[in-house]
Amino acid sequence: MSRITSPKQCVNTILVRPAPGRKTRAIVQVGPLRIPAAIGRTGRTSNKREGDGATPIAAMKILSGFLRGDRLSQPRTALPLQRTRPAMLWCDASGHPSYNRLVRAPFKPSHEEMQRKDELYDICLVLDWNVSARRRNAGSAIFFHLIRPGYEPTAGCVAVSRQDMLRILPHLRRGTVVRVL
């Protein structure tokens, strides 16, 4: 496998290209490094809608991230990673004023738990899809996170293995663009 030459070398853009033969698989390119990934269960789309299971074809900046600190120690990265707590939720109720935002429990509208029982969000980077400029029903919680066993598809996110995420984190910073092609 290729290596990024310097541990301090940050990349400006991560490319996410469709993998041949499977609409739910992709190749993530970080500098010269190419790693397998999973994307949305319905593939990619240029017309993202809430609940469609597709990964948006777009250039999305990394805004921040979350770390499951009770399972992992702080990785080397310039990204701001907030330690998750049980009360942290992400609102995916498109009609709610907190749509596509971090909220706190108790919260009755539709949401995702940020401190999940599985390991998907042990490292979870927030991509700027419908965050900075929100539109109702345009999709929420588009993250770059950890993979399910067997590279099962996501609900619209980009997912890589823990090992690969830890390899690329030192090269990412706020504003690095994840470009889904």
- Mean pLDDT for the stretch of residues 42-71: 98
Of the two residues 2 and 160, the one the predictor is more confident about is: 160
pLDDT of residue 7: 47
- End-to-end, the C-alpha distance of the chain in Å comes to 22
Domains and CATH numbers, the chain: 13-180 (2.40.440.10)
Summarised one tens digit per residue, pLDDT across range 116-139 is 999 999 999 999 999 999 999 999
What is the maximal distance between C-alpha atoms in the chain? 47
Contacts of 49 (CB under 8 A, 6+ apart): 137, 138, 139
Whether the CB-CB separation of 106 and 92 falls below 8 Å is answered with no
pLDDT of residue 174: 96
Is residue 4 pLDDT above 60, yes or no? no
* Strands 13-18 vs 25-30: parallel, antiparallel or unpaired: antiparallel
- Mean pLDDT for the stretch of residues 15-37: 97
- Whether the ω angle into residue 80 lies within 30 degrees of 0, i.e. cis, is no
Token readout for 155 is 């609900």
The SS3 of residue 167 is helix
Is residue 9 pLDDT above 80, yes or no? no
Beta bridge partners of 81: 65
Alpha carbon 46 to chain centroid distance? Answer: 17
Cα separation, 60 vs 79, in Å, equals 15
Token readout for 102 is 């971090």
Is residue 55 pLDDT above 80, yes or no? yes
Whether the CB-CB separation of 84 and 67 falls below 8 Å is answered with yes
Smallest Cα–Cα separation from 61: which of 8, 120, 133? 133
- Mean pLDDT for the stretch of residues 49-71: 97
The SS3 of residue 16 is strand
